[in-house]
Chains A and B, each alone.
Chain A
């Protein structure tokens, strides 16, 4: 057991580094790259696309993807090494996460050759950005309860309904969509999976403002929107299995460092060292030291857990649902760390004003962003259910909705 790069890994790291040095500038000490949070202005997106294309030209865009789609055909470890090195340079935010992290792997697992050839190369180059049209007003945790209808009409499917919380829909070209193709069978059996052109007639995205003030997610309305049958992924009625592939990839990617906003334990220590109250310098306070220690223990626990996952990957094993640990721990911890960081600042913790807010108000923003991270991509409770039922194999909850025909499932007042 060791953390050293093997000779090949060291060579790969050196190669990555020299390309990055030639093509980007290193971050200054203390400087961080902007998070994905509210970075949806057109200039940022264009900059992100330009950077992605540059990486693609040099073979750095998707380390683990097959060369046939423009990837490098590399190993998961190489992908991590690349991520570590790229993270030391000033680069635009990665607005391609839903495509590269979720839709891409799903298409590779379930799409036809033609579909893969059509979508993957442009996705990889960042030419076409993707969004995820899963959640609906009455179907989030209970995704399989979704109602957006897709009905067959010749070579097309006609789609009606509403999606919600679709991050980035207002600037995306393609969306992965799960829709109900048969309401007369039990809920999981009546779903199908499609790729939808966000620019087609009958698809309308409206931005929704989130609590932090930005408007990164959307409601998306479908009114007789037509999707060619050629854009269906896998068989009719197999949408749930395909969606699960997407969700497993989503949780893995959010858990491994996707929790934006605010700094780490180091920044917390820097802050506590700087401030004092009537009790003296706050870093000397036992209660505060204990809380910081707790966060550090958990942070390192997560990091080393991800190394174990990585080791499994590099031995050719697939990581299982234990990937759910990452987001479950990280999202709530981010909320608690931000809360402490505000307390360390005293009443000044209550202001976002640049003239007073320490560390560029990153912790205030983190306090307003963390609640979303506890909800997005599976809430804390859903992740606990996954750990309990799929990892620990505990008996499932009795289900009232699983065997009934979808149209007969109780919906309360939302019906």
Chain B
């Protein structure tokens, strides 16, 4: 939008004689965007006041008065036992525990590498030139590497039980694996819900409505407490796996409804044209219907993905130590007591980083899809 306006602005013939109000440069920008009318000026001033009141104390607490290194919690506090500024020394001291939790200390380069692999894969997926078979191959290789690094037991790596997996890698595994499996499942459910076969339709509707009607916590509880009761004794399913599956099934129901919204927006004519060419159901769906339907629902899709990412923090109630779990555990240290704000600000920053990335990415996708089609 801004680009277009900019372009137009440049092409306007500029009368030589009459001086025009400046529309370029910082002052021109201010005038056009912040002080264009009386009401706008009023809003700008109010916003400035609010910022003036809130920003300086935050900067003072977070940067100026902050304690960056200290041997223990007492050193962070003044003589009166009050904190003057943020005690980042706490986060620094606990950093490895917060990030990697109970994973064996000497082996923590492995989860670090796992985080790097995930970030690398996610960044690589942003490049649309890579989309296709190569990217699928990259992800598969990535998953194998993540599995090997986390479990070990091969290539001279010591075996690490899933009960010790914790912190950021656990959060990323739950979220990324969850989304990657929930997305196709959600698409199938959405297609099933619009199927012409009554049995398929009934199953999909029942599943979606059932899962959406139950809180995620309940599903997680059922997976971790009730499921073992039904299994024959001796047979146990890994707790992490149960949580992961519960997570996938849950997210899929929500994604299905989002995708269904897109499917409904496809004009009947598109389907008829594909049929008339003899494409058949699956090719029609893959080549004509889904590309258009999914492009239409990018914003709500990403919304659901962001929600899913943050929902991973609920696994704490069944005893898995995700990022928020390790933060809580770190707070229990007797040497560092009461630094809740610092701990949660740090955790929030990590969550925010990933969620913000997702929302920017979705904006980029939207822009790209729209650019090629309209005008």
Q: Do A and B come from one complex?
A: no
